[in-house]
Amino acid sequence: THVSVQSNWSMEPPTNLHMTDSPQLQRNVITFVKKELRKIDSVLNPDLTECTKSPPDEVDEFALEAREATVKIALHILKCMKEQSLFDKLLQFHQIDACQQKLKSSLKNRSQCIFEGIAKQANPALLNKIYTELYITEGGIGEVNNEHEVRQIETASWTPETQETPIKCNDIFKALPGQNKPIRTVLTKGVAGIGKTVSVQKFVLDWTEGKANQDVHFVFPLLFRELNLIGKEQYTLEQLVYLFFREIEGFKLSNLEKFKVIFIFDGLDECRLPLDFRNNKRCSDITETASVDVLLTNLIKGNLLPSALLWITSRPAAASQIPPGCVDQVTEVRGFNDPQKDEYFRKRISDQSLANRIISHMKSSRSLYIMCHIPVFCWISATVLERMLSEAESCQIPKSLTEMYTHFLIFQTLQMKDKYKELHHLDPHLSRNNILSLGKLAFQQLRKGFVIFYEEDLIECGIDVKDASVYSGLCTQIFWEEFGLYQKKVFCFVHLSFQEYLAALFVHLHWFTTQKPSSDEFKIPFQDTDFGELCMDLSLFDLHKSAVNQALKSRNGHFDLFLRFLLGLSQERSETLFRHLSIQIGHITHSNENTVTYIKEKLGTGLSPERSINLFHCLNELNDHSLVKEIQTYLHSGQLSMEVLSNAQWSALVFVLLTSDEGLEVFDLRKFFKSDECLFKLHPVIKASRIAILSSCKLTKKSCSPLASVLESNPNVLRELDLSFNDLGDKGVKSLCSGLRSPHCKLQTLKLEFCGLRRDSCSALVAALTSNPSHLKELDLSYNNIGNDAATWLLGLVPDCGLETLRLSSCGITKEACAFLTSALSSKPCQLKKLDLSDNRLWDLGVGMFSGLLANPNCNLEELRLERCNFTSKSCGLGLENSRLRALDLSDNDVQDSGMKQLMNSLKDPSCKLEKLRLSCCRLTDKGFSSLASALRSNPSGLKELDLSKNFPGCTGIMQLFTVLRENTALEKLCLDSCELTPDMCGLAAKGLSQSLNLKELNLSNNNNLKDEGVRLLCLGLQDGSCAMKSLKLSNCGLTDSSCQYLASVLSCQSISVELDLSRNAISQQTEQFLSSISNINLLF
């Protein structure tokens, strides 16, 4: 039954309602009531789930009450009308809408403020005022990177940006281009402090304010750190939701199947629940009681509320807890790129002069600038440098990571002393002992792998829970105290790196106390601390040595940053800084020298690139740059020799290349040493490059295995790999194919020209491209004798993969392969746009098949090269007018004038799209040129580039061609190289040039009979007309100094620069110098 609750009484006010004194009030009341009744009408008639979308406009308390009153009136009328089903429907909607509005109001209060890097005791800022869109990109297929996050940051800093499509946080559930299946679960990865929680906060805030995702009915954001607090208790899913979102109590969660619901689980890395996906019992009933762990695993697997959407955020190392099969899309929050780093400091620091000084200083230290990839580190640096550079007295600005963190600790602690002066009469060492207690907590939890702490963790470290608020209050920007469920306290450091810094400080101070056993300097109970393999009872060098060994043993580098800080704290500069806090940390100069020597010895033992790079950062913390300076000297002098480089120097070379300010867009091995061994040594540089040029480097099959590992790496930025002119053979390419098969491989261009490939390697290539077909766009296998069978395998793959360019020049292909090609490319639409089959014996029968292929609507070829394919004029009727071809090369074939006539009949058609045509060495005479002139006259807007070199136009052919050029054709480039031109022909050409508006490049090289007279006549045309030549090639034309005088007088008057090629002519050095002195002439000799 269709019932409208709008009736005539809504059109006019009741007679007993006196609003005539305020016509505006009367109109507004009527408008409001009509609007609300329309909403009610939309509830009663369409599907219920389509009408619960919240209005985007802001509403206040009075508006909500007025809407509720309108609904109650409608309910009363429906009840009187005895429309029970509609009454129930509207009542359910009203209850849902009320729950939703309460939930939105509560979530808005929670998410509208942000605390940048500090605890909630500080003044908050409105998120909408300071939020800068963090770009989220597709992050692979779910495999986990267990490397230390600083190592991941450094890798990201030296790899070029890829052309990945950014995903805004509000679009996190939208399918990416090419994705067909719906997205239920999204896993978003990102290192600590990168902005995952802020992205979630912005998503929730925009939903509550009606700005985005208004098709979503309920959003339930949950923190794993809060779920930890109730991990041992039993709940139904309904009870669990009510526990955190009391606003929807009374609403039956069984109804959620009818609505669009999003659960957000933020901070998977903070989860202390088992998340046992394999062994947890199955639970599909939301009223069934189970542990929080069981509820979560079943919700994520889709057993509970399969219609609900899930967004999970995590640091990279913890993401493996979610089975890949449960995740539909993996995304990654990226940190600041270089422009964004600068933008942050300029927004953060109001004094732009000061901001520029800070930016300059950060760029002067590569290690610091790399860390600015993390927004939180930018905040730490801005906090330190803004104060230091603002102070009147001169002070030493921090240049290392340890110095930056030490200054940050000092500033926060001194600020605390000013804020809490009344507490200091109790204990003069209060702040010092707090720092040491936090250091012990940091170290013990670092060894366990925890970044979130609870009260029991503090008790274990000897910290009185009653004093926890003092710790977080005194060091508010170092140590957070948050309140979770039931006001239970949750603690964490401002960033993982600061936890590692305090852990290193704690270890260093413990070592110092062992050197002064009678000292009563510290009151921290060190004796119950497990230091693992660290040597705490011997010399400082022994401590450093054991820490280096510990870091090198770690598979994922989780002690890398700890080691850097530990070494940096032994510097004299650190000892001086800590005097501000009345803390002695000890300093022994010769121990650092021993440590430097030990690290250099380790660098000479053939460590992995990642471990070597961290050791160079360690040397930087110790202020030793000797190895790096040696390599920079070699590079600048050009005396880099493979024989003289030690293993440590090879590691230094890799470090210098990776951390160079010039970036790694292109790596060219030819600039170094052409050998397999050099490729092995510089393997990490190739891994970090977007384009790797390895052609003609004397590589063998030995190099293919490390290159395959590059293609398998994650993340993977290599997009172009050129291995041409290396003897790789079938075995080498088979090894390479293991990398091409990897789902991480994003290679777009692969060049294997002249690599000794045969049938077997092509079989491996086809198998690899079949398993990973979407990324490779260009493949060059030219000058490999693969034969017909292999060619047909490759051509058969083309319709089902993303290849856009395929080069098979001189591959032993015959006409039989052309038949297969025609069939494959005609069967269904494919992406292939460029095809090169030059230097294959296709004959007329093979080439003749292209006319049908090019006319097929499934064929998208735009460029076709058929040089030296042994065909004649019989197969020149290619039907270009029916194709998409824009470039065609038929050079070095027996086309002759009759074949030219067939081609030009197609070119006359306005539907012909051809722009580039090469017909070099095709035995054309004046008749062929006449056909060309006729076609250009009929279709003047078509051809832009034309190569007619090594043909025989004669005077008639030249006259007809250049006569057409006077008629404003689109031709921009013309090549008449080796066409037996004479001075008379130049005179004919000059008339056409005098009125040609578009011709910019003209090549007349290798016409020995041109002579000075020919150039003189040519210059008359250039001088008199409007032609503005950009390139003129007259190489090997029998010219002398006289020609140069003519050219100089004409070309020097042009307003644009011109490239002039006069090589292989009898021109004096003095004349060369004269021409070179003319500013707009770029002379080539």
pLDDT tens digits, 348-366: 888 899 999 999 988 888 7
What distance in Å separates the CA atoms of residue 86 and residue 2, rounded to the nearest whole number?
A: 9
Q: Which of 1062, 1061, 1005, 997 is nearest to 1029 (CA)?
A: 997
- Token representation of residue 433: 């002992």
Question: Which stretches does DSSP call E strand in 1-80?
Answer: none
In the prediction, which pLDDT does 3 show?
44
What value does the mean pLDDT of the chain take? 81
Is the predicted pLDDT of residue 669 greater than 60, yes or no? yes
Q: What are the φ/ψ torsions at residue 462 (nearest 5 degrees)?
A: 80, 15
Q: What are the φ/ψ torsions at residue 759 (nearest 5 degrees)?
A: -60, -45
| Sequence-separated (6 or more) residues with CB below 8 Å from residue 561 | 148, 150, 401, 497, 500
- Going by pLDDT thresholds of 50, 70 and 90, the confidence category of residue 671 is confident
Q: Sort strands 452-454 and 479-483 into parallel, antiparallel or unpaired.
A: unpaired
Which has more pLDDT, 947 or 2? 947
In the prediction, which pLDDT does 341 show?
85
Question: Which stretches does DSSP call E strand in 91-184?
Answer: 113-114, 125-126, 136-138
In the prediction, which pLDDT does 37 show?
60
Secondary structure (3-state) at 913? coil
Is the predicted pLDDT of residue 85 greater than 60, yes or no? yes
| Sequence-separated (6 or more) residues with CB below 8 Å from residue 464 | none
- Token representation of residue 1038: 């029998």
Q: Average pLDDT of 520-528?
A: 54
Amino acid at 763: S
In the prediction, which pLDDT does 993 show?
84
In the prediction, which pLDDT does 420 show?
45
Question: Domain residues of the chain, as ranges?
Answer: 8-110, 135-334, 981-1085
Check if the beta carbon of residue 761 is closer than 8 Å to that of residue 793.
Answer: no
Q: What angle do the packed helices 84-111 and 23-44 form, to 10 degrees?
A: 110
| Domain at 135-334, CATH homologous superfamily | P-loop containing nucleotide triphosphate hydrolases (3.40.50.300)
Q: Average pLDDT of 413-434?
A: 54
- Token representation of residue 464: 């009185």
Count the Cβ atoms, other than its own, within 10 Å of residue 165. 9
Secondary structure (3-state) at 1040? coil
| Alpha-carbon torsion (1021, 1022, 1025, 1028), positive or negative | positive
Check if the beta carbon of residue 761 is closer than 8 Å to that of residue 730.
Answer: yes
Check if the beta carbon of residue 980 is closer than 8 Å to that of residue 1009.
Answer: yes
Q: 720-750: string of b/e by CB count within 10 Å (b at 16+)?
A: bbbbbbbebbbbbbbbbbbbbbbeebbbbbb
- Going by pLDDT thresholds of 50, 70 and 90, the confidence category of residue 58 is very low
- Going by pLDDT thresholds of 50, 70 and 90, the confidence category of residue 297 is very high
In the prediction, which pLDDT does 648 show?
84
Which has more pLDDT, 610 or 329? 329
- Going by pLDDT thresholds of 50, 70 and 90, the confidence category of residue 309 is very high
In the prediction, which pLDDT does 1040 show?
93
What distance in Å separates the CA atoms of residue 1026 and residue 1029, rounded to the nearest whole number?
A: 9
Is the predicted pLDDT of residue 473 greater than 90, yes or no? no
Among 436-440, 517-521, 779-783, 843-847, the range scoring the smallest mean pLDDT is 517-521
Q: What are the φ/ψ torsions at residue 241 (nearest 5 degrees)?
A: -65, -45
Express each pLDDT in 160-202 by its tens digit: 555 556 777 788 888 776 677 789 999 988 877 777 888 888 8
Amino acid at 927: K
Is the predicted pLDDT of residue 936 greater than 80, yes or no? yes
Amino acid at 138: E
Is the predicted pLDDT of residue 2 greater than 60, yes or no? no
Q: Average pLDDT of 552-570?
A: 86
| Sequence-separated (6 or more) residues with CB below 8 Å from residue 279 | none
Q: Average pLDDT of 673-682?
A: 90
Is the predicted pLDDT of residue 571 greater than 80, yes or no? yes
In the prediction, which pLDDT does 142 show?
43
Express each pLDDT in 594-653 by its tens digit: 899 999 999 888 787 778 888 888 998 888 888 888 888 777 766 666 666 788 888 888
Q: What one-character DSSP code corresponds to residue 271?
A: -
- φ/ψ region of 723 (left if φ > 0, alpha if ψ in -120 to 50, else beta) reads alpha
In the prediction, which pLDDT does 802 show?
85
Express each pLDDT in 377-401 by its tens digit: 888 888 888 888 876 555 678 888 8
What distance in Å separates the CA atoms of residue 431 and residue 428, rounded to the nearest whole number?
A: 8
Query: Which of 387-391, 423-427, 553-557, 1000-1004 is the most confident on average?
Result: 1000-1004
From residue 995, alpha-carbon distances to 7, 67, 942, 1000, 1055 in Å are 79, 77, 19, 12, 17
Q: Average pLDDT of 924-947?
A: 93
Q: Average pLDDT of 2-21?
A: 43
For 272-341, give the DSSP string: -S---TTTSPP---TTS-EEHHHHHHHHHHTSS-TTSEEEEEE-GGGGGGS-GGG-SEEEEE----HHHH
Q: Average pLDDT of 958-976?
A: 89
Is the predicted pLDDT of residue 427 greater than 80, yes or no? no
Query: Which of 80-89, 462-471, 685-694 is the most confident on average?
Result: 685-694
In the prediction, which pLDDT does 638 show?
65
Check if the beta carbon of residue 916 is closer than 8 Å to that of residue 888.
Answer: yes
In the prediction, which pLDDT does 63 show?
60
Q: Does domain 981-1085 have CATH number 3.80.10.10?
A: yes
Q: Average pLDDT of 557-571?
A: 88
In the prediction, which pLDDT does 994 show?
80
Q: Average pLDDT of 868-887?
A: 92
Which has more pLDDT, 148 or 206? 206
Q: Average pLDDT of 1040-1052?
A: 90
In the prediction, which pLDDT does 701 show?
94
Among 117-121, 181-185, 816-820, the range scoring the smallest mean pLDDT is 117-121
Check if the beta carbon of residue 844 is closer than 8 Å to that of residue 873.
Answer: no
Long-range contacts of 335-343 (CB under 8 A, 24+ apart): 335/153, 335/156, 335/190, 335/191, 335/194, 335/195, 335/373, 335/374, 335/375, 336/372, 336/373, 336/374, 336/375, 336/378, 337/161, 340/132, 341/369, 341/372, 341/373, 341/378, 343/132
Is the predicted pLDDT of residue 19 greater than 50, yes or no? no
Is the predicted pLDDT of residue 724 greater than 90, yes or no? yes
Q: Average pLDDT of 753-779?
A: 90
- Going by pLDDT thresholds of 50, 70 and 90, the confidence category of residue 1065 is very high
In the prediction, which pLDDT does 54 show?
44
In the prediction, which pLDDT does 451 show?
75
Query: Which of 120-129, 748-757, 817-826 is the most confident on average?
Result: 748-757
- Token representation of residue 935: 């076609």
Q: Average pLDDT of 91-96?
A: 67
What distance in Å separates the CA atoms of residue 10 and residue 741, rounded to the nearest whole number?
A: 69
In the prediction, which pLDDT does 433 show?
72
Secondary structure (3-state) at 83? coil
Q: How far apart are the first and last CA of the chain?
A: 91
In the prediction, which pLDDT does 479 show?
62
Express each pLDDT in 242-292 by its tens digit: 888 888 877 777 777 778 899 999 988 888 899 999 999 999 988 899 999
Express each pLDDT in 126-171 by its tens digit: 555 545 455 566 655 444 445 556 666 666 655 555 555 677 778 8
Is the predicted pLDDT of residue 1002 greater than 90, yes or no? yes
Q: Average pLDDT of 1023-1049?
A: 87
Q: Average pLDDT of 699-726?
A: 92
Amino acid at 802: G
Query: Which of 524-538, 638-652, 787-801 is the most confident on average?
Result: 787-801
Which has more pLDDT, 157 or 914? 914
